[in-house]
């Protein structure tokens, strides 16, 4: 089959949004089914038909959709990771940056809808345990809006959050009440404070012990950030053992 030419920005965002539903949990086949709008029971059971991008590529064949998913992998928006025996999709740093941004916009649009309709959500629990980087960006955008109508939502959210996020929410509430949210210098200062509050423990290079060979290996700051961003736990094996494990799983002999 002919190689798919460049995807549009909308296609890229659509695929990333659909992938978000199954990231780290499933592979390409399930992603194709979401985009195709598959009627399979499994899709309904997992609630994947509720995804805003469910059926977004309904008009295309599964083969065409798969080519687009593969294009995303080839162009470093998504990656396949072999976990045990199952290949799973994960975001690359580039892909996650885009997806995080559009998830934040989605969250903000929802708040705006509630404001327009004059409703209050029954619970803010849905915001708990979300990716920390995304939540920070969400708070940042709320603050920059300088719109104090968000304060009641923030208070309800604050009530159910963990301490560190609670503190970050408090900063935003104070900003909105003072009406200083959009002031540029303040925004920049607050952003730095916010980052500090949430990074109470500064990242330093770590030396981890490999579970397999027992050797120490360095887990440097960039790697730590990368793992954190994707929500991964730190590696258990040193790079050499990781590669051997991967070769074993791929059924390739190593000597
Ligand atoms: Zn090792």
Pick the range with the lowest mean pLDDT from 101-110, 159-168, 221-230: 221-230
Which span out of 9-13, 34-38, 115-119 was modeled with the highest average pLDDT? 34-38
Q: Residue 35 pLDDT more than 90?
A: yes
Q: Residue 4 pLDDT more than 70?
A: no
Residue 185 CA from chain centroid, whole number: 28
pLDDT per residue as tens digits for the range 152-205: 999 999 999 988 899 999 999 999 988 764 554 555 665 665 565 555 456 677
Q: Are residues 193 and 101 in the same domain?
A: yes
How far away, in angstroms, is 89 Cα from ligand 1 center? Answer: 25
Average pLDDT of the segment spanning 216-220: 85
How far away, in angstroms, is 179 Cα from ligand 1 center? Answer: 54
240, part of any domain = yes
Pick the range with the lowest mean pLDDT from 41-55, 56-70, 98-112, 226-240: 226-240
Q: Alpha helices of 179-250 — where are they, by DSSP H?
A: 184-198, 221-229, 239-249
Give the whole-angstrom CA distance, residue 218 versus residue 33: 40
How far away, in angstroms, is 199 Cα from ligand 1 center? Answer: 30
Give the whole-angstrom CA distance, residue 237 versus residue 80: 19
Average pLDDT of the segment spanning 18-46: 94
Please give the pLDDT value at position 193: 59
Q: Are residues 170 and 122 in the same domain?
A: yes
218, part of any domain = yes
Please give the pLDDT value at position 93: 87
Please give the pLDDT value at position 52: 92
Pick the range with the lowest mean pLDDT from 38-42, 138-142, 164-168, 237-241: 237-241
Q: Which of 57, 91, 125 is the last residue of a domain?
A: 91
How far away, in angstroms, is 216 Cα from ligand 1 center? Answer: 8
Neighbouring C-alpha atoms within 13 Å toward the C-beta of 97: 6
The pTM for the full model equals 0.65
Q: Are residues 187 and 148 in the same domain?
A: yes
Q: Are residues 158 and 103 in the same domain?
A: yes
Give the whole-angstrom CA distance, residue 217 versus residue 220: 9
Q: Are residues 161 and 119 in the same domain?
A: yes
Give the whole-angstrom CA distance, residue 231 versus residue 131: 7
pLDDT-derived band at 212 (thresholds 50, 70, 90) equals: confident
168, part of any domain = yes
1, part of any domain = no
Q: Residue 151 pLDDT more than 80?
A: yes
184, part of any domain = yes
Total domain count for the chain? 3
Helix-, strand-, coil-residue percentages of the chain, each rounded to 5: 55, 10, 35
How far away, in angstroms, is 255 Cα from ligand 1 center? Answer: 15
pLDDT-derived band at 30 (thresholds 50, 70, 90) equals: very high
- Domain span at residue 159 reads 97-198
**CA-based diameter of the chain, in Å?**
67
Q: Residue 244 pLDDT more than 70?
A: yes
* Pairing between β-strand 206-209 and β-strand 86-91 as defined by DSSP bridges: unpaired
- E strands, 5-97, are 78-83, 86-91
How far away, in angstroms, is 165 Cα from ligand 1 center? Answer: 36
CATH of the domain at 23: 1.10.10.10
Please give the pLDDT value at position 154: 95
Our CA angle for 25, 231, 153, nearest 5°, is: 100
Please give the pLDDT value at position 200: 47
How far away, in angstroms, is 213 Cα from ligand 1 center? Answer: 4
Please give the pLDDT value at position 1: 47
Q: Are residues 15 and 51 in the same domain?
A: yes
Give the whole-angstrom CA distance, residue 99 versus residue 130: 13
Please give the pLDDT value at position 239: 85
Q: Are residues 48 and 141 in the same domain?
A: no
Q: Are residues 81 and 132 in the same domain?
A: no
Paired tokens of 207 = 């030396």
Minimal CA–CA distance to 14: which of 102, 122, 75? 102
């Amino acid at each position: 089959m002919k190689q798919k030419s460049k995807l549009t920005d909308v296609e890229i965002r659509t695929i990333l949004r659909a992938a978000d539903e199954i990231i780290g949990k499933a592979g390409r086949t399930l992603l194709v089914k979401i985009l195709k709008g598959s009627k399979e029971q499994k899709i309904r059971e997992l609630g994947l038909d509720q995804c805003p991008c469910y059926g977004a590529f309904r008009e295309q064949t599964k083969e065409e959709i798969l080519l687009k998913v593969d294009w995303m992998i080839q162009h470093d928006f998504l990656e396949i990771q072999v976990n045990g025996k199952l290949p799973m999709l994960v975001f690359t740093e580039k892909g996650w940056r885009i997806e995080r941004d559009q998830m934040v916009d989605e969250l903000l649009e929802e708040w705006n809808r509630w404001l327009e309709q004059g409703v209050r959500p029954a619970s803010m629990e849905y915001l708990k345990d979300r990716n920390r980087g995304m939540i920070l960006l969400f708070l940042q955008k709320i603050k920059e809006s300088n719109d104090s109508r968000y304060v009641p939502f923030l208070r309800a959210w604050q009530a159910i959050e963990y301490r560190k996020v609670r503190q970050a929410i408090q900063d935003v509430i104070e900003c909105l009440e003072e009406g200083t949210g959009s002031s540029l210098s303040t925004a920049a200062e607050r952003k730095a404070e916010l980052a500090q509050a949430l990074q109470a423990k500064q990242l330093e290079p770590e030396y981890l012990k490999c579970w397999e060979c027992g050797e120490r290996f360095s887990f440097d700051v960039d790697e730590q950030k990368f793992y954190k961003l994707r929500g991964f736990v730190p590696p258990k094996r040193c790079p050499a053992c990781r590669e051997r494990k991967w070769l074993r799983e791929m059924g390739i002999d190593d000597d």
